[in-house]
Amino acid sequence: MGHNWKDDELSQQVVQAMAHPLRVRVLRILTEKVASPKEIANATGEAPGNVAYHARVLLDLDCTELVKTVTRRGAREHFYRARPDAFASAGKWRALPSVVRGEFAATAFRELYLRVTAALEGRAFQRREGSSLLCLPFQVDEAGWKELVEIVAGAEQAIQEVSVQASERLEDRAGIPAVVALGVFEAASGASK
């Protein structure tokens, strides 16, 4: 089970995990499948030792978990998967300094853009019943804003529970690579409505 992080420790954990672009790439791959640093290095073209180092950092930061160890030709190969709560949750998000929140949001939106683009190009939206992508800009008052924040927090908690249960059922097998993009933010002034 993961650490019981306090807000300041949580901020540092997320900052350290996302401080290097290769760690973000490794973590992204490990959210989709169980893999070893060697497999990740082959997929990314990075040096195996470099990937192994960053995989250990993510393990130390409690962003990943060791699934199994396999001995091959006298060497031990470690296989990891991302913890369901590896990326910043709303609670972790609020604990981050505002500058880091901005950087993290930019990284998250770039990642979402890449994933949506790949899904559209690969016609993934048509493959599975229930796929959807919504963007719902509208006006709210302060009470409406608070309600939206509560809805997103509740949905996030339910999504994390599904992720944990699915991870337990899958063990180290491959699953359906799903992405849930969930957020609420104040639109920029003058943005189209």
Query: Does the residue 151 lie in any domain?
Result: yes
Chain centroid offset of residue 76 CA: 27
Query: Does the residue 192 lie in any domain?
Result: no
Backbone angles phi, psi at 65, to 5 degrees: -135, 150
pTM across the whole model? 0.61
Q: CA gyration radius for the chain?
A: 18
Which CATH number covers residue 128?
1.10.10.10
Domains of the chain: total: 1
Query: Does the residue 181 lie in any domain?
Result: no
Q: Could you tell me where the beta strands, DSSP code E, fall in 73-138?
A: 75-82
> Which tokens is 27 given?
């973590």
Query: Does the residue 80 lie in any domain?
Result: yes
What are the C-alpha distances in Å from 119 to residues 16, 69, 87, 111, 183? 29, 32, 21, 12, 20
Query: Does the residue 119 lie in any domain?
Result: yes
pLDDT, tens digit, for every residue of 99-134? 667 766 777 787 788 888 888 888 887 888 888 888
pLDDT, tens digit, for every residue of 69-97? 999 888 899 999 888 766 655 566 666 66
Task: Determine the structural domain holding residue 106 and report its residue range.
Answer: 7-170
Query: Does the residue 193 lie in any domain?
Result: no
Residue 14 pLDDT level (bands cut at 50, 70, 90): low
